[in-house]
Amino acid sequence: MLTTTNAGGLVRAVYPGSLGEYIGIRPGDRILSVNGRTLRDEIDFRFYSAEDNITLELLNTDLKRMILEIEKEPDDSIGIVFEDPIFDGIRTCVNNCSFCFISQLPSGMRKSLYLRDDDYRLSFLFGNFISLTNLEEEDWHRLNEQKLSPLRVSLHTSDPETRAILMGNPKASTGLEDLKRLKDIGISTHIQIVLLRGINDGDQLLSTLDDLESLGDSILSVGIVPAVYTKHRLMLPSPKVDPQWAQDTISMIENYGKKVYKKRGVHWVYAADELYFVAGVEFPEHDFYDDFPQFENGIGMVADFRLRVQELRGNEVVGRRDRERPKVLAVTGVMAYPEIVSAVRCLGLERQISVLEVENHFFGDTVTCAGLLTGIDISCAILDCKTRNHEYEGVLIPSFAVFEGKFLDDLTVDDLREIVALPVRIVDPSPDSLLESVSF
């Protein structure tokens, strides 16, 4: 049983003018229950407080229990923000996936990176991909009661034996059955397939897509991403990808998508942008990605970026076009480097921005995305660039390389500023940020 000091959800903020402020809820209070139901997370709070008459039990900052009676419309929000959306601890992964990126991390990195979350509540709230292997019957009952839809599920393959082997867990063999069960209780899913060359690709991938497509509209989309191995992984579970394999895989995925499009009006299955980079083939047009259901999975980002570049092209650039050399250094990874360079040219920013391609020495040359660059690799590349060229007036860092002010290796943004002796700005990885940077 939860104690009075850690039960329920800790209130971080209360919106001014909200119902919560009106009834006296304050930051630092802890919401314990709604209508007598103990709260496990923010989802419980939303679900049970949707009724028109509710009773809140809370523990205030003086550790005094209070009971608040509220009459409201069912859709009225209480107007509070919790410190953490999960009150009873994050569910962690019970698998041992052969391709797990976290297992390839060396020690000494940002602590949060080592948390292998596999919590269906985070999937519902934030779009995290989950395996479904740690669900108990109580969880299935709750999913049915609260209709937590959609969820995002990492399937990898519909073949029971292969999935169990890939994920290092016999319970993983029920993956397709679990998806059918979710369908039966009215929950839709977005699917992720991490593709391992020679294991779950080719004919087995086609079989998996057939099985998923047979579940109808309950499967909203399928995203296919290649497995990534760092230099810290000594024994690779599958061969590294090459251009020909990537080309064949893309062709298979796109052809399947065209077939589904005739029935559903959406392409449904999409290949990761990384596969197109490896294959060296042209990306699909923006419309191919429909409503971009797998955008956060690295799928469709290039098409969206390119469209925005075209929309901004020709805008008046506010800056000094007569400069002899660029004043801003824009950092990116190996994979996105050609795209950023092309965008700078299309936007007429060559005299304002110099693009810096940073190789990933920390994880190895197989890791090429900017989001996995460490502070030390970035700082070394900037210092080398300054030595070879000239003093810049500022540095742009893509926001997905930083979390809460820190890079993956725990180097802070302030550390980077001190090391390179330049102003550093964290920006969204968008063409708009490039235009805005001329006034750095």
Asked if CATH classification 1.10.10.10 holds for the domain at 102-297, the reply, yes or no, is: no
Does residue 57 have a pLDDT over 60? Answer: yes
What is the overall mean pLDDT for the chain? 91
pTM (2 d.p.): 0.90
Residue 233: per-residue pLDDT: 79
pLDDT digits (tens, 9 = 90+) for 391-409: 788 999 999 999 889 998 8
Contacts of 319 (CB under 8 A, 6+ apart): 349, 351, 352, 438, 439
SS (H, E, C) 350-381: CCCEEEEEECCCCCCCCCCCHHHCCHHHHHHH
Does residue 164 have a pLDDT over 50? Answer: yes
Confidence label for 76 from pLDDT (cuts 50, 70 and 90)? confident
Residue 344: per-residue pLDDT: 93
Percent over 90 (pLDDT), the chain? 75
- Report the alpha-carbon angle 332-344-378, nearest 5: 20
- In this prediction, residues 83-108 reach a mean pLDDT of 88
**For the ranges 160-174, 228-242, 247-261, which has the lowest average pLDDT?**
228-242
Does residue 109 have a pLDDT over 60? Answer: yes
Percent over 70 (pLDDT), the chain? 94
Q: Indicate the residue type of 252.
A: M
Q: Rounded to 10 degrees, what is the CA torsion of 416, 419, 420, 425? A: 20
Domain coordinates of the chain in residue numbers? 9-82, 102-297, 310-439
Q: Indicate the residue type of 38.
A: T
Element (H, E) at 330: strand 328-333
- In this prediction, residues 264-291 reach a mean pLDDT of 96
Does residue 112 have a pLDDT over 80? Answer: no
Q: How many other CB atoms are there within 10 angstroms of residue 421's CB atom? A: 10
Contact present, 268 and 221 (Cβ < 8 Å)? yes
Asked if CATH classification 2.30.42.10 holds for the domain at 9-82, the reply, yes or no, is: yes
Core vs surface per residue 169-194: b (16+ CB within 10 A) or e: bebbbbbbebbebbbeeebbbbbbbb
Asked if CATH classification 3.30.470.30 holds for the domain at 310-439, the reply, yes or no, is: no
Does residue 304 have a pLDDT over 80? Answer: yes
Q: What is the DSSP letter of 399?
A: G
Range with top average pLDDT, 132-146, 318-332, 375-389: 132-146
Residue 27: per-residue pLDDT: 96
pLDDT digits (tens, 9 = 90+) for 280-293: 999 999 999 999 99
Residue 7: per-residue pLDDT: 82
Residue 150: per-residue pLDDT: 98
Does residue 1 have a pLDDT over 50? Answer: no
Residue 232: per-residue pLDDT: 82
Confidence label for 2 from pLDDT (cuts 50, 70 and 90)? very low
